[in-house]
Amino acid sequence: MSYNEFRIKRIDTFEKEIMEEVQYLLKQNDLTVDLFLEERIGIFDGKKLIATGGIKGNTLRCIAVDKAHQGGRVLNILIGELLNIQYHRNVNHIFLFTKPASKRSFEFLGFHVVEEVNNEVVLMENRQDGLASYLKGLSKHKVDGEKIGSIVINGNPFTLGHRYLIERAGRENDYLHIFVLSSDESSFPYRVRMQLIEEGTNDINNITIHGGGDYIISSATFPSYFIKEESNIVGLHAALDVNIFGKYIAPCLGINRRYVGEEPYCAVTREYNKTMEKILPQYGIELVEIPRKGFEGGYISASKVREAIGKDEIEKIKGLVPPSTYSFLISEEGEKVIKRVKAYSTKRH
């Protein structure tokens, strides 16, 4: 496709020379290369790369325009093309991160601020009513009470550790809202994670299970959960996500407590918990950190379950998961998921 003198081209990660230019352009704009994008395009002026941008899920990533072409039509062409690609992928609710200085440029292109943190990072979406309409849907599930708890879990897969946390939070609160991460970047697909959480908690009456949607630890609000990032970026992303939760989601359901399990393993999750500890009280939400449930001298964790699956030691899982998760894993459908888990075994979440 061409726009007069500019050429737009898809870029493959193995095109070494062009990728070097991409890296240079990103660096010029203080950005790092994400190698795991689903799409990457470049705009060329003759042979020279003057702009690049990419797509992952419902987000636009790694967007950079050569300094000499900033403030002109190049950004418009770039974003227009990325939105066009998203349209053909059937993705129409789109997010991007940018620096506050570039906020105006994206506002001209129909993006709206969801949340801004520390004058350092802004999350934007292409819908004026995006967050508002999500909150409107959520508020229908509001239950009155004095102590309203919340838990956000991935449940990859649902273990006795999750069960322990939910039981305890359910007992200590009048009502409990559970949010299940909906990004499909974990080894257990969203649908299965959701199903196992529902089955594993169906005897507890004072809870509602929600899909986390785009605004709770999604690849839009907290991409660091799914990709490795430098720690200052992790902190910023975490602050963004926690602010959205505290400022918008919690008040909408009257939530005044958030429960987490202590994190002995993963540095990103630990950083996230630390951020919650700092930010949530500002919104009148108490963070309750519960020590993990022990098992045979260690702790129960979903990653241990995946590790055992990877080693074909399904028997070992019995003590770590509720019967519902176990019987799923030995079912025919479970077999398919196990194959997927094995293929993912190098990933963290």
Residues in contact with another protein by the rule CB under 8 A: 3, 73, 76-77, 79-80, 83-84, 87, 90, 92, 107-110, 126-129
d(CA 303, CA 347): 10
Query: Mutual orientation of helices 231-244 and 267-279 as an angle, nearest 10°?
Result: 50
Q: Residue 21 or 125: which CB sits closer to another protein?
A: 125
Which of 41, 165 has the CB closer to another protein?
41
Cβ proximity to another protein, 31 vs 75, nearer residue: 75
Q: Give Cα 15 distance to the centre of its chain.
A: 29
Instruction: Supply the minimum distance, in Å, between the C-beta of residue 78 and another protein.
Output: 9
The least distance separating another protein from the CB of residue 75, rounded to whole angstroms, comes to 8
What b/e sequence results for 17-37 when a residue is b if at least 16 CB atoms lie within 10 Å of its CB, and e otherwise?
ebbebbbebbeebebebeeeb
Say which amino acid occupies 304: K
Gap between the Cα atoms of 319 and 205, Å rounded: 25
Smallest separation (angstroms) from another protein to the CB of 252: 18
Q: Whose Cβ is closer to another protein: residue 100's or residue 110's? A: 110
Placement of tokens 């799914």 in the chain: 226
Specify the residue, 54 or 157, whose C-beta has the smaller distance to another protein: 54
Indicate the residue among 36 and 108 with the shorter CB distance to another protein.
108
Residue 138 CA to residue 71 CA, distance in Å, equals 39
φ/ψ of 257, rounded to 5, equals -145, 140
Cα distances (angstroms) measured from residue 181 to each of 147, 157, 211, 226? 23, 12, 6, 11
User: Nearer to another protein by C-beta: 77 or 249?
Assistant: 77
- Closer to another protein at the Cβ: 42 or 261? 42
> Which phi and psi (to 5°) does residue 289 adopt?
-100, 120
Q: Least Å distance between CB 110 and another protein?
A: 4
Number of Cβ within 10 Å of residue 295's Cβ equals 15
Residue with tokens 């350092």: 120
Q: Which residue, 129 or 286, has its beta carbon nearer to another protein? A: 129
Q: 111 or 259: whose CB is closer to another protein?
A: 111
Q: By the 8 A CB rule, do 214 and 245 touch? A: no
Residues 58 and 66: beta-carbon distance below 8 Å: no
In whole angstroms, the minimum distance from the beta carbon of 109 to another protein comes to: 6
Q: How far is the CB of 116 from another protein (least distance, A)?
A: 18
Residue 193 · residue 157 · CB < 8 Å: yes
Number of Cβ within a 10 Å radius of residue 10: 12
C-beta of 54: minimal distance to another protein in Å? Answer: 17
- Shortest Å distance, C-beta 136 to another protein: 10
Task: Residue 37: name the closest of 24, 48, 47, 52 by CA.
Answer: 52
Cβ–Cβ under 8 Å, residues 31 and 62: yes
Q: Work out how close the CB of 124 gets to another protein at its nearest, in angstroms, rounded to a whole number.
A: 12
In angstroms, give the least distance from the CB of 21 to another protein.
Answer: 23
